[in-house]
Amino acid sequence: MNAIKQVRLYLIRNPQTPSANVLRRLTTALGEEREFPICELYEMDLESFQLAVELLQDWRLDRHYAARIRLFDTVLADVPAQAEAPAGLASSIVPTS
């Protein structure tokens, strides 16, 4: 199960705890790409702290993949469409009049 699902379950089970409030703010900050005071993680119990670390790891990995996708999109945007098709294929696709 990925971290965001685990955080969701934790928040459902422990909605009013101080750790749940920190997890909720951390999740929101990551989603909105806002700053988050890392010292607040120290206030959490061990279980929620571990969830926060897993959430940060998933977030970092997702950002890595998103950056790679943007890189591929940038590179492919500079490649002419004809260069992508194997030789002879482009001419066989274009209808002749």
Answer whether 55's CB lies under 8 Å from 27's CB. Answer: yes
Quick: pLDDT tens for 37-71: 999 999 999 999 999 999 999 998 877 666 666 66
Neighbours of 68 (CB within 10 A): 10
Whole-number pLDDT of residue 61: 85
Three-state DSSP string of the chain: CCHHHHHHHHHHHCCCCHHHHHHHHHHHHHHHCCCCCHHHHHHCCHHHHHHHHHHHHHHHHHHHHHHHHHHHHHHHHCCCHHHHCCCCHHHHHCCCC
Region 71-89: what's the mean pLDDT?
A: 59
Answer whether 4's CB lies under 8 Å from 27's CB. Answer: yes
